[in-house]
Amino acid sequence: MVENVMHVHGELWTVKELFVLPNEYVYWSIQIVMYPFMTGLVAGAFVLSSLYHVFGVKQLKEIARFSLVFSFALLPVAMMPLLMHLQQPFRGIHVMMTPHFTSAISAFGIVFMAYAFIVASELWFEYRKHFVLTTQALAAQPQRSGFDTLRMHFFKVLTLGAMDISHEAVQKDHNAVKKLASLGIPVACFLHGYAGFIFGSVKANALWMTPLMPVIFICSAVVSGIALCILCYVVTMEIRKFMAKRKISRWSKDPNAPSVEELQSAEQLEIKIVSNYLLYFMIAAITLEILDLIFRGYTQVKSWDILREVIMERDFNKIFIMQYAFGNALPFLLMVLPNRTVRRTTIATVLVMFGVFMMRWNVVIGGQAFSLSFSGFMHYHLPIIPHDWETFREGLGGALLVMATPFVIFYFLNKIFPAFMKEEEAH
Amino acid sequence: MKRRDFMKNTIVAIAGASVPLSALEFIDPREVLAANPEIHWAFLINTYSCVGCGFCVKACKTENDIPFEANASRTWVERYVYTKDDRRYIDSPKSAQYGFTDARIDLGEHLGYQDVDPNNVGKAFFVPKLCNHCATPSCTQVCPVGATYKTDSGPVLVDRSWCIGCGYCIMACPFGARFFHPVLKVVDKCTFCYHRITKGVETACVNACPFGARKMCNIKDINDPVTQIILNERVGVLKDEFGTKPQAFYIGLASEVR
Ligand code: SF4
Ligand code: SF4
């Protein structure tokens, strides 16, 4: 008989082997790998910025402000993969309209909004003085271009009418930032622990179901967030050093602009401290992951036979080589060996981020690599070249789009909230 | 006031206060019915009777508009073949919508087909499967918008106009009963033919099975002959370890069937 080609969702990228139930496919694909990866970066970046604000780690001043802006840029991107993966994306708003609170995802909107609100207000307090100064500076210009007038009004609106920049007022801002940052830490951890809970509570999935999942997710989130901040920070500093050398933009007019040497030493100091934090969180994350693995191997419940085959044989390279060796062991060595340099740390952060991405992959895709019948396997083939909308959004294209978006957002946000401000403006 | 009188008065006061409270309680007929429903649908599958003809799958796809070319189905039939030298094979080609017309085992795209020597077969049997319409379903629990829900009379349904297509329920079902409808792009699953049973007609699959391997009953009606079997015979359910309390009961369930 002649049959038209009609694909059930998931069929395009799933290859079944041995006995897999007819309706089983890799339903949660690359976008669901991106989701915990991106929320992890948000949470991690925020935790890093809070280290300075809450615990007063003075040396982290520069990178803290940078991470705060960056975590704000990452925020919208945390829900992008979720929306892109929905079969009915235009109905996404139903989650807000009829949240069904027995479900772990239903509160996502609320948690996410609460968190967004905290980060936004923290940013506002942090940058209020800057808004006021910018407005005043623009207003003082005798001949303003149309664009500058527009900018002036824009910044004026951003101040929300709070133009007082006396010492006390700024001090109050400062206290508010501190309070919001301390409130933000648990909320950021919740936001991400929650992503872990969404997986950990799926009782039908033998690989996912463990109460350790939220904790593992939080630790690896902080790891990836810090790594990303270090990386971006180094890249931006390199650009600034380059500009300082060539006397471009600010360095051509401002005699007080930091010199190459100043930038260099500031960078080295910050990186040194931040990478220590990175190491602590890495140790915690790896310990928990290994504990989970050992526990499964030791208790050997019914699912262990198939899990062992997936973990030790089929996904061995992805788990032990790519995730643990290249994503954990190697960067760990790079950072603990004596005479750690900025360059070595930078390489380590790239590897760390790769490792965390692989961990998300191995959890999300690995959890769907075996059948509920425990008698068959599913292989996931990431669609590389899209031939329709579905293979784009659930393929490499969609993943790259999600990855690139925060940088685009950061570029524009940086114009409003300059992540690297002149000292006298900052507090 | 004497101590005894005080005690007596107190007791009267407490008793008096509690009466109006319960009297105020609003009686919602739907709630009463839900607490003591007269109907609770259950399913009975006799694996000894199933010959793997796949008529049920065909009937279901036709009745419920699930395209035949789609590799997903609300109900399906599995074939189990155990050889005498203890090799185990399971398959369900195209959900068995055309029955088992090939003696070879379908091992999937990669591995192709496996020949089994008929003289070497130890035991072999068929197991029809469908949504178990669990009493405490994990699928309805996880739906973030409440688009899938359990009706008072048992069947678990999906509101196609409200499902956002997140797939969380698919992940949460331990039985692989759910899939995305290839045309409508919302979750789909067996409804126990809700549109039929509520009109007193049996489900399409029960109707189509020539061997009586599938039966339905109201498990609240102890005079129903099918209910009698569930109550009096040795029946089992799939994967009870997940605690979803499946309402599809099996006669002759082997431990290998998962
Ligand atoms: S079998 Fe699956 S889809 Fe059906 S009620 Fe149970 S958990 Fe839900
Ligand atoms: S796919 Fe539809 S029915 Fe299933 S959990 Fe998501 S919204 Fe609910």
Atom 5, ligand 2: which residue's CA is nearest? B143
- Paired tokens of A17: 């082997």
The answer to whether position A246 is within a domain reads no
**In this model, does residue A51 exceed pLDDT 90?**
no
Would B41-134+191-251 and B138-188 be classified into the same CATH topology? yes
Question: Do B174 and A103 make contact, defined as CB atoms within 8 angstroms?
Answer: no
Classify domain B138-188 by CATH number: 3.30.70.20
A22: which chain B residues are within 8 Å (Cβ-Cβ)?
Answer: 71-73, 76, 92, 94-95, 176
How do residues A76-110 score in pLDDT, each as one tens digit? 888 899 899 999 999 988 888 888 988 888 877 78
Mean pLDDT within A316-327: 95
User: Which is more confidently placed, A258 or A137?
Assistant: A137
CA atoms within 13 A on the CB side of A306: 21
**ipTM of this complex prediction, to 2 decimal places:** 0.87
The answer to whether position A409 is within a domain reads yes
A91: which chain B residues are within 8 Å (Cβ-Cβ)?
Answer: 145, 162-165
Q: Measure B70 CA to nearest chain A CA, in Å.
A: 6
Q: Would you list the domain boundaries of chain B?
A: 41-134+191-251, 138-188
Classify domain B41-134+191-251 by CATH number: 3.30.70.20
Under the banding of pLDDT at 50, 70 and 90, the label for residue A1 is very low
What pLDDT score does B7 carry? 57
What pLDDT score does B37 carry? 62
The answer to whether position A301 is within a domain reads no
Q: Kindly list the averaged pLDDT for each block of 10 residues, start to end, along chain B of length 258.
A: 58 53 54 67 96 96 96 96 93 95 90 91 95 96 95 95 95 96 96 94 95 95 93 94 95 89
What pLDDT score does A248 carry? 78
B240: which chain A residues are within 8 Å (Cβ-Cβ)?
Answer: none
- For chain B, report the end-to-end CA distance as a whole number of angstroms: 72
Domain residue limits at A145: 34-201+389-427
What pLDDT score does B89 carry? 94
φ, ψ (nearest 5 deg) of residue B106: -85, 110
Q: Which of A139-148, A340-349, B202-211 has the lowest mean pLDDT?
A: A139-148
User: Which is more confidently placed, A267 or B47?
Assistant: B47
What pLDDT score does A10 carry? 92
The answer to whether position A121 is within a domain reads yes
Under the banding of pLDDT at 50, 70 and 90, the label for residue A46 is confident
- Ligand 2 first shell, C-beta below 6 A: B 142-143, 145, 147-148, 158, 163-169, 187
pTM above 0.90, yes or no: no
Under the banding of pLDDT at 50, 70 and 90, the label for residue A378 is very high
- Paired tokens of B103: 């003696």
The answer to whether position A96 is within a domain reads yes
Atom 4, ligand 2: which residue's CA is nearest? B169
What pLDDT score does A27 carry? 95
**Closest-approaching ligand to the CA atom of B172:** 1
| Domains of chain A: total | 1
User: Mean pLDDT of all residues in chain A?
Assistant: 88
CB contact, 8 Å: A2 with chain B?
no
The answer to whether position A66 is within a domain reads yes
Atom 6, ligand 1: which residue's CA is nearest? B134
Highest mean pLDDT among A252-261, A381-390, B29-38, B203-212: B203-212
The answer to whether position A274 is within a domain reads no
